[in-house]
């Protein structure tokens, strides 16, 4: 009797599995793509129709954000549509990122990012030489860290309202990157000159001192910046002899970011690279 009951129970379970809806495939913007150290989400424009994307923006959310929240930003998706590029949303553990100087020590973020890059290249055929890293606030600090320690895996970097944390590295092992940074003069959450948090246990870095790391590296002599007035910014741009661009754009607002700023940087990088 027990054997008969077990067989029938297995048949019922198999039947219910047939009725259950199939799990959503990784690649839908509302579905996690899992790698060894975590997960991410990706948005691919409908216009690609199975074609390989022209490139990608890998975006790092701010403190207590998520990849799900990034995917709700329709302006980022519209940017992706206009340029035929993938929008990839990295996902921090417990809403944070672990990098030198940061309060969190949750995982090896360089390993995680490497896994995400390998996965999107293998699974979605994202060109490995046309990936831009961008992020907001704590995510921008993560982007700065990548520019220092993982620069060879990205075509450029667009941090917004966040930079390296103290103690700043004396030098970076990566070569001078294409890095375009945006920051508000009235930003009180992550001021341009940084601030102490958690009773002084940790300190957000000074944006100008972070740039000085790159200005002091390389074979070129220090050059005077080109000043660009590009509403709503005042930008200081330095074009290095190794064909990289370093740009600091300051606006009069606070702790904010706009998809249009990332799109502007993608267009600048496309012009420099001849994409």
What string of pLDDT tens digits covers the 275 residues of the chain? Answer: 444 444 444 444 444 343 333 334 687 889 999 999 999 999 999 888 778 999 999 999 999 999 999 999 999 999 999 999 999 999 999 999 999 999 888 899 999 999 999 999 999 999 999 999 999 999 999 999 999 999 999 999 999 999 999 999 999 999 999 999 999 999 999 999 999 998 788 999 999 999 999 988 755 555 678 899 988 999 999 887 667 899 999 999 999 999 999 999 999 999 999 99
Answer whether 266's CB lies under 8 Å from 130's CB: no
DSSP state of 31: S
Answer whether 142's CB lies under 8 Å from 119's CB: no
Closest CA to 91 of 151, 41, 144, 31: 41
* Residue 73: both structure tokens together: 């930003």
CATH (residue range 25-273): 3.40.50.1820
Return d(Cα 31, Cα 27) in angstroms, integer. Answer: 7
At 19 the pLDDT is 39
Closest CA to 63 of 207, 154, 161, 148: 161
Query: What dihedral do alpha carbons 101, 234, 131, 152 form, nearest 10°?
Result: -50
pTM of full prediction above 0.95:
no
pLDDT tens figures, 110-163: 999 999 999 999 999 999 999 999 999 999 999 999 999 999 999 999 999 999
DSSP state of 181: E
List CB contacts of 82: < 8 A, sequence separation 6 or more: 263
At 143 the pLDDT is 98
* Residue 246: both structure tokens together: 């370093």
Return d(Cα 50, Cα 231) in angstroms, integer. Answer: 37
At 200 the pLDDT is 82
At 241 the pLDDT is 65
Distance set, CA 132 to CA 30, 94, 156, 179, 274 (Å)? 22, 24, 5, 10, 15
Please calculate the CA angle 251-255-258 and round it to the nearest 5 degrees: 70
Return d(Cα 128, Cα 222) in angstroms, integer. Answer: 31
DSSP state of 112: H
Indicate the helix (H) or strand (E) that contains 113.
helix 109-124
DSSP state of 54: S
At 243 the pLDDT is 73
Q: How many CB atoms lie within 10 A of CB 227?
A: 9
* Residue 117: both structure tokens together: 């890059």
pLDDT tens figures, 3-21: 444 444 444 444 434 333 3
Answer whether 58's CB lies under 8 Å from 146's CB: no
């Amino acid at each position: 009797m027990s054997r008969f009951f077990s067989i029938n129970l297995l048949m019922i379970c198999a039947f219910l599995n047939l009725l259950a809806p199939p799990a959503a495939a990784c690649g839908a913007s509302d579905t996690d793509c899992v790698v060894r150290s975590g997960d991410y989400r990706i948005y691919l424009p409908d216009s690609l129709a199975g074609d390989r994307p022209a490139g990608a923006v890998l975006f790092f959310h701010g403190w207590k954000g998520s990849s799900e929240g990034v995917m709700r930003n329709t302006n980022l998706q519209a940017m992706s549509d206009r340029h035929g590029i993938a929008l990839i949303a990295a996902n921090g553990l417990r809403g944070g990122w672990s990098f030198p100087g940061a309060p969190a020590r949750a995982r090896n973020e360089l390993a995680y990012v490497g896994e995400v890059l390998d996965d999107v290249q293998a699974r979605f055929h994202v060109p490995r030489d046309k990936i831009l890293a961008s992020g907001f606030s704590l995510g921008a600090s993560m982007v700065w860290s990548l520019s220092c320690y993982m620069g060879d895996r990205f075509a450029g970097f667009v941090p917004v309202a966040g930079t390296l944390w103290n103690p700043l590295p004396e030098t970076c092992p990566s070569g001078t990157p294409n890095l375009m940074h945006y920051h508000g003069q009235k930003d009180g959450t992550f001021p341009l000159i940084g601030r102490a948090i958690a009773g002084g246990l940790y300190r957000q870095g000074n944006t100008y001192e972070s740039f000085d790391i790159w200005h002091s590296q390389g074979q070129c002599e220090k050059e005077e910046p080109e000043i660009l007035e590009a509403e709503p910014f005042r930008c200081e741009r330095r074009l290095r002899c190794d064909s990289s661009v370093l740009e600091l754009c300051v606006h009069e607002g606070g702790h904010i970011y706009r998809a249009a700023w990332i799109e502007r940087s993608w267009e600048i990088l496309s012009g420099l690279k001849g994409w």
